[in-house]
Structure 1
């Protein structure tokens, strides 16, 4: 029986020049000598082939994010945190991308959600000279990469809309190197920059918008150390709408007289599954992969998490939240925010989620069960003899069992006896994680205009002072700004405006 199929395509040349051809090699060497291939080395180190015919946008983005060494704060497989197409699932369901592809605006949104700094331009918003300037600048550096959205027909190639990163620039011939992620179809190739501009200056029929390019770089500080907003369950849509649209109306339509009433108004109509929306970023690892010590990297992350936690507790707003949640006026809707559950129960749930993530299931299957947890003490693999507390759980999923560790921030640990450098597991007690911390962080992350409906001007001034991020320590300020960006982007996704508005969140 005959086997039908396609094995690659012949690259139309001209206009393209195969990267591996003699002419392509000469362009490469010339560009290296001119200093406009600096971005190439990081990109080629993480060059990947899209795993699905419609995954060009996802493959391009995961390649660039890995080249920029942005930590996804999520496990990929085994103990590894790594961007893969399957990790880019927050702005558009993967099944929909697989069937229909993805728009320019949603790739921009995905990059922003992943924590990257993004500047996006449609061809209607700039010109070919500006594009050349950005290509030349990014090609001379490895801290910024250009992603192009273009139509293949301009290059006499088969197919329609496509995404790929630009790997370099040849000044003398004014040609760019396209690192085509559809490597099963076409190899990397050089094309005239002006022709790439024409290919970008086309209309995406799905959105009615022009294509374009984006500049992606790494932020100065990694965001999402302690908290993150989740859009990987059905609750995010209604919760984002409630926080951004409904809360300001509630404050405007009620006679609010003090800060407790402000907090109560926010709590009064919280969606029942609100707890799934904002989540603690736990430090989870597979026990057998990690051995019996804590790496300096792990210890450093725990220290940063602990510092963020302390800074949240030192805000003036936290005192009000703490008093409100412990008062008899605390509404039933936020009963989950009170500290009735002990840390072991919370950690058992985290262990189950961690086991699912480590198994490549995204941490959301809900089919794992943590049958036991225990507290142990591990030493760091440096000169500091101070041990780190670890809550270890045995997770069962069907017939399989896996031991999962949750590294505990120091502020959750209480030494019950003796010298902390020589303590056994029996001397470690775990403090309950205060729910007031997470709610305080969320209130700080709400858009500043949220509170403008408060009628009492003195109270409005007091509330604005409590939620202002201007005087927050830099570490906490970055954490809150990250949550605020996430909320902005989730709301934009919910309103289906990601293709109309490419701007970074105005925060």
Structure 2
């Protein structure tokens, strides 16, 4: 009988470890670089570099790039974005200590790890870190209003802009995503997204109209459209 229990224990332990390994494999991002569908443009391509050089609204780019963190987990796009913006403000943080006691009251590490976060969640999490975050849902705005925000926000380094959008409308798979925006090029009417999913996509120039459409998609977690956050000290 003792041997039966030993065998049963070993089987259960093996199954448990297999399950743990599977969860880790699912949660942690694996490098799998994807080609960008047209008309998206990689930031380090010749065209992408030209847009950055000619963009008049790119004041946020240096600080954001210097503080940029790729997401450490598949569900941490919002966390990586928050840490990047806080770092651009000079507030040291990382994706582990982002969940302070105050931040965890908004949404816990466990909830984000296994369920991601919504735009309102990120707004609250950033405010828990002592910065001001103002949320705008795309359905309550217009592409022209968003374009004006891009021109104003990205022309100075006192505040930052975060977008929440549905990747499917950019030809990048059926998942919601959050990332900071670093520059706007009026000539091509495109915006530079510092994509936190660096294991799959480069920093990318996206047509403003296309991004806005992707932000109007409804987030099932809130029942509202996605949108953007303006973040200031």
Scaled to the shorter chain, the TM-score interval is: 0.7 to 0.9
- Mark the runs of 5 or more structure 2 residues left unpaired by the alignment: 1-24
Give the 5 Å matches for 1:387-426: none
- Aligned pair count? 201
Task: Check if 1:131 corresponds to 2:142.
Answer: no
Which among 81, 84, 90 is matched to residue 60 of structure 1? 81
Partner SS state of residue 172, structure 2:
coil
CA contact (8 A) 2:159 2:232 kept: yes
- Cα distance in 2 for partners of 1:113, 1:6 equals 30
Q: In 1, distance between residues paired with 2:164 and 2:199?
A: 19
Q: Please show how residues 77-116 of structure 1 align to structure 2 within 5 Å.
A: 82-89=92-99, 90=104, 91-116=106-131
Report Cα offsets for 1:184-238 as digits up to 9, x if no partner. Answer: 11010101011000000001112211101010011xxxxxxxxxxxxxxxxxxxx
Q: Helix, strand or coil: the match of 1:87?
A: coil
Map 1:66-465; keep pairs closer than 5 Å: 66-70=87-91, 82-89=92-99, 90=104, 91-218=106-233
1:37 matches 2:58? yes
- 1:161 offset after TM fit, Å? 0.4
Alignment correspondent of 1:428: none
SS at match of 1:86: coil
- CA offset at residue 103 of structure 1? 1.1
Q: Is structure 2 residue 1 aligned with structure 1 residue 8?
A: no
4+ residue runs of structure 1 moved beyond 6 angstroms?
none
User: Following the alignment from structure 1 to structure 2, what is the Cα–Cα distance between the partners of residues 59 and 6?
Assistant: 16
* Per-residue deviation, 1:159: 4.1
Matched, 1:48 2:69: yes
Deviation of 1:87 (Å): 2.5
- By how many angstroms is 1:20 displaced? 0.9
- Tell me: CA distance 1:86–1:110, structure 2 relative to 1, closer, same or farther (3 Å): same
Contact 2:42-2:205 at 8 Å conserved across structures: yes
1:336 matched to which residue of 2?
Answer: none
Contact 1:104–1:211 under 8 Å retained in 2: yes
- 42 and 6 in structure 1: CA distance in 2 versus 1, 3 angstrom threshold: closer
1:151, 1:202 within 8 Å by CA — same for their partners in 2? yes
Q: SS of the residue aligned with 2:96?
A: helix
Q: Which runs of 5+ in 1 are unaligned?
A: 71-81, 219-507
1:417-440 Cα shifts (integer Å, max 9, x gaps): xxxxxxxxxxxxxxxxxxxxxxxx
Residue number in structure 2 paired with 1:263:
none
Query: Is the CA contact (8 Å cut-off) linking 1:178 and 1:189 kept in structure 2?
Result: yes
Structure 1 residue 6: Cα displacement:
5.5
Does the 8 Å CA contact 1:12/1:155 hold for their aligned counterparts? no
3-state SS, counterpart of residue 184 of structure 2 = strand
8 A Cα contact 2:118 2:222, kept in partner: yes
> Whose Rg is larger?
1
- Cα contact 1:11–1:18 (8 A) shared by 2: no
**1:26 paired to 2:47:** no
Displacement of 1:68 in angstroms is 1.2
2:181 touches 2:194 (CA, 8 Å); kept in 1? yes
